[in-house]
Structure 1
Amino acid sequence: MREKPVLLLDLDGVLSPFAAPTCPEGYLERVFFEGEPPHRYCPAHGAWIRELAAAGELWWATGWGEHANERFLPMLGVDPLPVVRFPPVPFEPELKVPAVDLVTGGRPAAWIDDNHTTRGLRWAAARPAPTLLVSIDPAVGWTRSDIDHVLDWAARL
């Protein structure tokens, strides 16, 4: 039996399109952290997350840390996911790479993020295991074609 790939999912800019000038159709807004502006979420994305979880070992790769499970996933009706441990917020985005590398080890990995850094691109190119980086426009958020791209990639492994 083949080993399932590690699938890494960012939140801000991916599930929550913060750079959109207005709340996109199908999304709702909610304040998750006191004193911060509302974040956007789409209730239909719970099904997409479950699809990814069935195709691989799905992990949060977000600065939200455990808050992604505690505050965001309940809005989508999804069970908690394991969390990649990043430095305390705020941190430079390239600091995600060592933590992601630790979680993925030598396994195939797909990473969905709105801010793949030069360090992340070099990491992906140097890995001997199959690696897919999916770049998301934070003004749009992820789309069905992004999900299908990851699912097709995982099925071809």
Structure 2
Amino acid sequence: MSPTPPLVHFPDGTVRPLIAGATSVTTPLPAGDRPLLLLDLDGVVLPFAARAEDVEHRLRGELSVRFRPDVPQLLRELASDFDLVWATMWEHRANAVVAPLLGLPALPVISFDDRVTAGRTLKLPAVQRQVGDRPLAWVDDSLGPDAHAWAAARAAPTLLLDIDPSTGLHVDHARQLHAFATAVSATR
């Protein structure tokens, strides 16, 4: 009898098997020399404000998603400098739904199952547990002062980019990220 794959429970009540190739939610992120790039989806890869030139995908049984036409290429270029990781409330659905639209393979996923006290960055406790001492850049549209304080106190190089959710990730952010990765690799 073949082993049953782990199940992922989604906020809407659906339960699906863990996507093949995704990192388990119970194990640390893979070790490596390159910095991590923690990616949010809503407001970062998928901006909230629609523009005429955005690429829109209507998903069967799902909402539609849209992103800037240059985002797939930006992410592929960033993957040459970083180990990409989903840090999104979509969790494993990012691999099932959005990664194929962006031309990305299944990425490791940080799971967010913590209860958060008011005034704290929702994703910070899970990120702290998962990233270890690897250098990282974190792009998100909801990074609070506590996340910035954590980043400043880390021994490992850390860059937080607060993204405007109406415009999302763009080429200027990619330039900052490439510069960070270059600086990190120069110190290793």
- TM-score scaled to structure 2, two decimals? 0.72
Residue 145 (structure 2) aligns with = 118
2:51 counterpart of 1:24: yes
Q: Find the partner of 1:87 among 113, 122, 129.
A: 113
- TM-score scaled to structure 1, two decimals? 0.85
User: Alignment length, in residue pairs?
Assistant: 152
* 2:166 counterpart SS class: coil
2:58 counterpart of 1:10: no
* 2:80 counterpart SS class: helix
Determine the C-alpha separation between the residues in 1 that align with 2:60 and 2:154. Answer: 36
Q: Find the partner of 1:60 among 86, 91, 113.
A: 86
Whether contact under 8 Å (1:5, 1:107) holds in the other structure is yes
2:162 counterpart of 1:135: yes
- Paired letter, 2:34: K
Identity, in percent, stands at 40
Deviations 1:103-149 (A, max 9, x none): 22111110011111122112111111111001110111111010110
What's the CA shift for 1:35? Answer: 6.9
What's the CA shift for 1:154? Answer: 0.5
The worse-fitting range, judged by mean Cα deviation, of 114-123 and 63-72 is 114-123
Cα distance change on mapping 1:53 and 1:132 into 2, 3 Å: same
- Paired letter, 1:103: Q
2:42 counterpart of 1:42: no
C-alpha RMSD over aligned residues: 2.6
Deviations 1:39-77 (A, max 9, x none): 322343222111122112110100001111111111122
- Larger relative contact order (CA 8 Å, sep ≥ 6): 1
Flag the structure with larger Rg.
2
- Paired letter, 2:99: L
- Runs of 5+ consecutive residues of structure 2 not aligned to the other structure: 1-31
2:108 counterpart of 1:78: no
Determine the C-alpha separation between the residues in 2 that align with 1:125 and 1:76. Answer: 32
- Paired letter, 1:133: L
